[in-house]
Structure 1
Amino acid sequence: MVENLSKEVVINALEQDAGKIRRLIGNQKNHLCIAQCKAFEEVVDTQMFGFSKEVDFAIRIGVISEQEGQSILLNLEQELNDLYSQTYDIQKGQEG
């Protein structure tokens, strides 16, 4: 079965899972829970850990390179950091 997996299929699956994490963060951005809920941070950390394991598995079975895997993770982490920053700025603006 692994022989039938193409790089495009794996990358598409990883991007779909990354999209779920992005949507999770984006949905909470409207509620400002990101800046106030420790439990939400734990959920995101758990999702990111699971996603990193998916990427690691794809690397270990040789479907994507380590560089490609790291790029996928770094891009998602940067997007999440940007969302956190935007939310912080919005909250700060509402307080001031």
Structure 2
Amino acid sequence: MSEITPDLVRHLGVLARIQLSDAEVERLTGQLDSIVSNIAKVSEVATADVVATSHPVALENVFRPDVPGAVLTVAQALQNAPDADDDRFRVTAILGEEQ
């Protein structure tokens, strides 16, 4: 017995505000039913003693040590700025107060 029916697919299309042709409804009915069946198969074999994983192989991030390096001086940081004021970048307002 199929859980996914053409009426259900049409209803999902209405909820998603997607207009589906009859051919699309027929195709999606089969595809969604296959997806639901496969999920049911996985659910049958998934047991509480099997740890959930997102990858088949354990992953580990490899980070380098966080060591501070050379930094720019204020003058170096502002040397190519189109406009600067009081050791800061000066930019035009974007919120509409100043134009």
User: One fold, TM greater than 0.5?
Assistant: no
Task: Looking at secondary structure, tell me which structure has more strand per residue.
Answer: 2
- Structure with the higher fraction of residues in helix conformation: 1
TM-score normalised per structure 1: 0.31
Could you say which structure has the larger radius of gyration?
2
TM-score norm. by structure 2 comes to 0.30
